[in-house]
């Protein structure tokens, strides 16, 4: 069965006109168009915006980001334009506890977290779904993600699949979804390209039509992760220490282990005859090891917290797949060994750069997402 995006004819085969659909609206063009296209498909649409972060800013943070009052206003303006209701749900205290505190704790352990996945897992497809179905009678929750759900003729989900726009595909961030969540989720943009989404926004006269994309984490508006931790979580920052080469020789001094991630080469402030990359971080010794591009390559990883969207393989089973180790990574061929219920090992056919603890490894069979987990260690 081919994945279905918002193909009106096929969607009408299983989604009755007037079905109540809540759309998670961030104030950006993607969620705006998702809401508009669902309305055009005959759905009874409700726009819902989550407030996740208080938007208090340090002196260094000057850019607007999601959760700002301007973004809420843009989401409301789109809803007014479409003639649909809009409401705001305040999850700020929960978000700080579940996502931001975890973000800081991971950096304190020299791991590189992905808070957007935690937001999807705990808020968009869990807490928000609970609110919209219980308080607003929603039958489905839609988002502006570029992903697709393959369904049978009755609308039952078969699998989570990549979006048509390969450059925008966001299934990496959705590997934590359960099959039960797929049952009541819609991704209206899955069969569209970003260019087509912009064209729809212009056709509909939406205020978000030309709004720039945000590539930042909502609570780190200037992309200065180290500065954010120093401002808000000073207890989670690593103490300054030494840059070492792979033989243990001192190359210089760094500002703190929280400011670096595996594979990083910019902003190191260490000169040399060839480019250097972060190959290891030790928060206990306060050392950051630098090596060559070849020394940051690895072929194996272990992962925990594994979630299977496909039927779960048995412990000890091996399978062939392709794997992504970060959002923009080109899927690489590998052998996967299922170690237990929530653990697995991956061995790549060819070495991969910067396999980073704290990031996710997401497994695919062609365009179908098999599942994924959190990288614990690499070799």
Any bridge partners for residue 335, and if so which?
Answer: 320, 347
Burial class (CB in 10 A: 0-12, 13-18, 19+), 166: exposed
Confidence bin at 55 (pLDDT 50/70/90): low
Which of these ranges, 23-32, 49-58, 136-145, 264-273, has the smallest mean pLDDT? Answer: 49-58
Q: Among 214-223, 235-244, 261-270, 354-363, which is the least confidently predicted range?
A: 214-223
**CA separation (Å) from 339 to 144, 317, 326?**
34, 8, 22
Distance CA 232, CA 234 (A): 6
Sort residue 263 into left (φ over 0), alpha (ψ -120 to 50) or beta: left
- CB 314 within 8 Å of CB 300: no
Q: What is the pLDDT of residues 241-271, one digit of tens each?
A: 999 999 999 999 999 999 999 999 999 989 8
Confidence bin at 217 (pLDDT 50/70/90): confident
Q: What is the pLDDT of residues 165-198, one digit of tens each?
A: 999 999 999 999 999 999 999 999 999 999 999 9
- Assign residue 226 a region: left if phi > 0, alpha if psi is -120 to 50, beta otherwise? alpha
pLDDT of 271: 83
Q: How far apart are CA 47 and CA 376, in angstroms?
A: 38
Residue 225 tokens, joined: 């992760």
List residues with catalytic annotation: 119, 218
Length of the chain equals 379
Separation of alpha carbons 32 and 15, rounded Å: 20
Question: How far, in Å, CA of 360 to CA of 174, rounded?
Answer: 11
The confidence score (pLDDT) of residue 12 equals: 60
> Model confidence at 215, in pLDDT bands (50, 70, 90)?
confident
pLDDT at 64 > cutoff 60: no
pTM given for the model: 0.92
Two tokens, residue 66: 């999601």
Whole-number pLDDT of residue 56:
47
| Nearest Cα residue to 3 out of 146, 201, 211, 198 | 146
* Residue 350 parent element (H or E): strand 344-353
Of 47-61, 103-117, 311-325, the poorest mean pLDDT is in 47-61
Q: Cα–Cα distance between 191 and 346 in angstroms, integer? A: 30
Q: Three-state SS for 33?
A: helix
CA distances from 326 to 173, 267, 337, 358 (A): 9, 20, 20, 10
Region 52-74 average pLDDT: 64
């Amino acid at each position: 069965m081919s994945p279905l995006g918002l193909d009106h004819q096929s969607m009408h085969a299983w989604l009755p006109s007037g079905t109540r659909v809540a759309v998670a609206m961030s104030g950006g063009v993607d969620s705006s168009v998702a809401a508009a296209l669902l309305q055009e498909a005959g759905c009874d649409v409700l726009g819902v915006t989550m407030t996740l972060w208080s938007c208090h800013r340090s002196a260094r943070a000057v850019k607007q980001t999601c959760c700002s009052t301007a973004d809420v206003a843009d989401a409301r303006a789109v809803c007014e334009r479409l003639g649909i209701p809009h409401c705001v749900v305040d999850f700020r205290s929960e978000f700080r506890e579940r996502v931001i505190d975890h973000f800081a704790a991971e950096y304190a352990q020299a791991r590189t977290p992905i808070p957007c996945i935690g937001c999807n897992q705990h808020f968009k497809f869990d807490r928000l779904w609970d609110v919209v179905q219980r308080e607003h009678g929603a039958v489905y929750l839609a988002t502006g993600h570029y992903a697709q759900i393959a369904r049978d003729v009755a609308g039952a989900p078969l699998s989570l699949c990549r979006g048509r726009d390969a450059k925008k595909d966001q299934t990496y961030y959705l590997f934590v979804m359960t099959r039960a969540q797929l049952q009541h989720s819609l991704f209206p943009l899955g069969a569209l390209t970003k260019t087509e989404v912009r064209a729809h926004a212009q056709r509909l006269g939406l205020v978000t039509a030309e709004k720039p994309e945000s590539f930042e984490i909502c609570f780190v508006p200037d992309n200065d992760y180290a500065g954010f931790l120093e401002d808000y979580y000073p207890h989670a920052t690593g103490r300054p220490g030494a840059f070492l080469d792979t033989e243990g020789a001192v190359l210089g001094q760094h500002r703190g282990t929280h400011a670096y991630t595996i594979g990083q080469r910019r902003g190191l402030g260490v000169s040399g005859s060839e480019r250097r990359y972060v190959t290891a971080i030790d928060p206990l010794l306060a050392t950051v090891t630098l090596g060559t591009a070849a020394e940051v390559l690895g072929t194996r990883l272990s992962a925990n917290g594994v979630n299977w969207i496909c039927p779960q393989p048995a412990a000890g089973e091996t399978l062939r797949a392709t794997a992504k180790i970060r959002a923009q990574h080109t899927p690489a061929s590998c052998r996967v060994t299922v170690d237990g219920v929530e653990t697995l090992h991956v061995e790549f056919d060819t070495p991969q750069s910067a396999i980073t603890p704290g990031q996710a490894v997401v497994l695919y069979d062609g365009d179908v997402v098999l599942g994924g987990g959190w990288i614990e260690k690499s070799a």
